[in-house]
Structure 1
């Protein structure tokens, strides 16, 4: 496939992968630490819904390097243990479920702060797409980009019911 025919979203993901790789080498840390650090530094500015929203940004290497130049990556490696009784029991278990479907991994949060597009909805961890669990419509930010076909969507819901310990939205398929 020629460079002219590359899907713009795939091109953007590849550019971010290259950026994260350069940052990883520059700061001598793991890619996950770069993503976590960018999320921590930029969440207040962009009001992210989840860490995967980092993939929607357009950052240059110099901008990202500047954002992270004084970040203490050691804080991402430190573990602070607390007594489990600090959290109410309904927040400790079943807060989210991972659904693997056709090679992608989707996360459903039981207590997602944003009810859009459905409550709950699923996040694709690779590309930031949100799946409305009532009708199969997929969104990037708040723009509808495609709809899963009926058969795939119903199979996805069947898989989700098996792992998600909450109530899925009522089906509203047309």
Structure 2
């Protein structure tokens, strides 16, 4: 019987989804990886090619179906392994790159770049470097700087090479500059 004939009130849909996803979390979690409710939502959105997670509320997704859909999903992508953090003495971000509105106003010469292994989103390169205070991501092959998926500028070749030289024990993308 389809879910539509069982529940009509939107809160019933939400409560049913929470119950079913909770059962799926228990089945899909392992000793080495704890799957969260957010992981289930993100994985289902990806597997079912949905626009957003609210679309899940109106789908017939009992726990068994969620488990079947996600039994081979790589949840480790949502919990990337931290590789390293690179602190530079001088900023390598070109001056014309606009700051993010979420950035705190802290005046320092240098900056910190974080690199994760198995990042959930391999864009723009795998791996890539995050500068969280500036809300930027650097392609470690060509030096392009992104905010979301928009290219805002490019690192100078010597700065990109310097950044790459600080990253140890990980395979970097081919240098393209």
Q: TM-score range by the shorter chain?
A: 0.3 to 0.5
TM-score by length of 1: 0.43
More helix by share: 1
Largest Rg, 1 or 2: 2
